[in-house]
Amino acid sequence: MTRSRYLIIGNSTAGVAAIEAIRQVDGKGAITVVSDEDVVNYSRPLISYYLGGRVSEERMAFRDRRFYERNGVTLILGRKAEELDVEGRKVVLSDGTSLHYGKLLIATGGRPIIPPMDGLQKVREGAFTFTRLSDAKGILGYIRENEVEEAVVLGAGLIGLKATEGLVERGVKVTIVELADRILANTLDREASAILERALGDWGCKVIKEDTISRVVSSRGKVREVVLRSGRSLSAPLLVIAVGVRPNLELVEDTPISYDRGITVDEHMRTSVEDVYAAGDVAQAKDFLSGWSSVIAVWPVAFRQGKVAGWNMAGREVRYEGLFPMNSVELAGIPTISFGTTTPPEADGYEILTRRDEESYRKIVLKENRLVGAIFLGRIERAGIFSGLIRDGIDVSSFKEELLSDDFGLLVLPAEYRKHMVTGEGMEV
C-alpha cells in the first residue's frame, strides 16, 4: 500500500492549485495525484480550439511534467479512484492499487449530463459528449474517418456552443437544439443571446429553440438521425450531447461524506469528514453574492478553491470568501464576458443599465447602488474593473452615470479605491 501525506484525486485546475498551495507551506510532505485521464494536464476551456485546429495538444498543458517533478509529486495517470474508505483512510484505484492518505482532496470535477433519449443505448459510434480532451479527439477522429459534413449539437450553453465553434472550424455544418427559449440562457439576457444567435446564423448554423431530442435513430450502431419532441427529424451523422455537467460524486456516494448538488464544504473547503477536503466543480461552497452554498463550475472558482484547500490541508488557515459566476469566451467572432447576476428577478430592487451600439452591447446590474452583475459583448475592455467592483462591494452612486461611458476607467473611480486596487491584495486566478 502506497502512503502519502497528501492525496489528491483529480489533476485539473483545482488539483494543481492545491499542489502549489501545499508546497508554499510544506516543502517535503509526500503528495500523490491520481487522474483517470492519461495526459499530464490540459486547459479544459481549450478543447474546442483543439477540435477546431487552433491549438495543438502540446500547447494545451498549463503545467508541464517537470512541474510535478519540481514539487515532488507522484503522478498516477489513466487510473480511476473507485473506492474511498474514510475510516481506513485509503482510496482503491481501478487496478486494485490501494493508496493511504493523511489528508485527502477530492477534485473529481463534473461529469456530462445525458438526458433520456430513446434509441441512444443502441448507438455505438457517432454520439459524443464534450467535456474532455478525449472527447475532442474522438470527435475529430470520427469526422475524418467518416467524412462527416453535418452534425447536431444538443445544448446551447457554453459547452454546446464551444463544441459548435470547433465543428464549424472543421467545416462541419451544425444544427443546435436547445430546450430553453434562447442560447446561453443561464449566462446572458435575451438581447445578448439574440446578438450571438444572429452571429451563429452568419456562421451557417441553425438554432432550434424550445425543443429537444426524444429519439436517436442508428444504423449498424452508427447514429444517423434524431427525432425532436416536436416531431421534426434531423439528419445527424454526428451527435454531440452538451446539455451541461453535474458534480462527479461517484467516489463519495457510499461514504459518510455529506453532499447535496455537490460535496458540501465549509469556509476552509473541509467536508463533513475529518481530513477530507473538496474543491472545484465537485464542491458546493459559498457563493459570494448570495451567501448560499452552491456549485459554480468555472475555472477561476476551481483554482481559488484548490488554493484554499491546499493551504488548509498543509496547516495554514485560510478562508474561502466565495466567488461568483464568471465567463469569458469568444463565440462566432464576438468576445463575450459575463459575471454575477445577469438576469435578476423583476421588482426585487435591482436597477438595470444598458447600452447598445453597432459594435457592442453592455449591461450593468445594480442593487442598492452596488454592482452585482454585468454583460459585455463586442467591446470587453475594462471588464476586470467591473468584476473588482462586485468583489469589493463598492457603492457606485457617485459615478453611476459613467459606468457605461466609453471613457469609463480607473480615473473615474474614487481615489481611495484606486489606491486599494494598486496596493491591496489581489485575487489569484
- 334 pLDDT band (50/70/90 cuts)? very high
Query: Strands 173-178 and 206-209, how do they pair?
Result: parallel
Q: Residue 421: what pLDDT?
A: 56
Cα separation, 158 vs 167, in Å, equals 14
Tens digits of residue pLDDT in 135-151: 999 999 999 999 999 99
Q: Residue 414: what pLDDT?
A: 66
Q: Residue 419: what pLDDT?
A: 57
Mean pLDDT (whole number) for 238-245: 97
Give the pTM. Answer: 0.92
- Residue extent(s) of CATH 3.50.50.60 domains in the chain: 2-43+59-111+246-313, 120-243
Regarding predicted confidence, which is higher, 401 or 145? Answer: 145
3-state secondary structure the chain: CEEEEEEEECCCHHHHHHHHHHHHHCCCCCEEEECCCCCCCCCHHHHHHHHHCCCCHHHHCCCCHHHHHHCCEEEECCCCEEEEECCCCEEEECCCCEEEEEEEEECCCEEECCCCCECHHHCCECEECCCCHHHHHHHHHHHHHHCCCEEEEECCCHHHHHHHHHHHHCCCEEEEEECCCCCCCCCCCHHHHHHHHHHHHHCCCEEEECCCEEEEEEECCEEEEEEECCCCEEECCCEEECCCEEECCHHHCCCCCCECCCEECCCCCECCCCCEEECHHHEEEEECCCCCEECCCCHHHHHHHHHHHHHHHCCCCCCCCCECCEEEEEECCEEEEEEECCCCCCCCCEEEEEEECCCCEEEEEEECCEEEEEEEECCCCCHHHHHHHHHHCCECHHHHHHCCCCCCCHHHCCHHHHHHHHHCCCCCC
Q: Which three cell numbers stand for residue 35?
A: 487522474
Q: Residue 416: what pLDDT?
A: 65
Q: Residue 347: what pLDDT?
A: 66
Q: Residue 156: what pLDDT?
A: 97
Q: Can you give the C-alpha Rg of the chain in angstroms?
A: 23
- 160 pLDDT band (50/70/90 cuts)? very high
Cα separation, 306 vs 33, in Å, equals 13
CA 4, 8, 10, 13 torsion-angle sign: negative
Q: Residue 384: what pLDDT?
A: 82
Mean pLDDT (whole number) for 138-167: 97
The CATH number of the domain covering residues in 120-243: 3.50.50.60
Is residue 420 over pLDDT 60?
Answer: no
Tens digits of residue pLDDT in 24-57: 999 999 999 999 999 999 999 999 999 999 999 9
- Residue extent(s) of CATH 3.30.390.30 domains in the chain: 336-423
Is residue 424 over pLDDT 60?
Answer: no
Cα separation, 187 vs 196, in Å, equals 12
Q: Residue 235: what pLDDT?
A: 97
- The CATH number of domain 336-423 is 3.30.390.30: yes
The CATH number of the domain covering residues in 2-43+59-111+246-313: 3.50.50.60
- Which of 243, 252, 268 has its CA nearest to residue 10? 252
Q: Residue 426: what pLDDT?
A: 43
Name residue 31's beta-bridge partners: 6, 73
Q: Which three cell numbers stand for residue 51?
A: 477540435
Residue type, 153: V
Residue 69, Cβ density class (10 Å: 0-12 exposed, 13-18 middle, ≥19 buried): exposed
- 277 pLDDT band (50/70/90 cuts)? very high
Mean pLDDT in the chain?
Answer: 93
Q: Residue 429: what pLDDT?
A: 34
Is residue 422 over pLDDT 80?
Answer: no
Integer CA distances (angstroms), 176 to 25, 160, 249, in order:
48, 8, 29
Is residue 193 over pLDDT 50?
Answer: yes
Q: Residue 427: what pLDDT?
A: 39
Is residue 196 over pLDDT 60?
Answer: yes
Report the percent of the chain where pLDDT is more than 90: 80
Regarding predicted confidence, which is higher, 280 or 384? Answer: 280
Is residue 169 over pLDDT 60?
Answer: yes
- Which of 73, 90, 91 has its CA nearest to residue 81? 91
- 331 pLDDT band (50/70/90 cuts)? confident
What is the length of the chain? Answer: 429
Q: Residue 349: what pLDDT?
A: 85
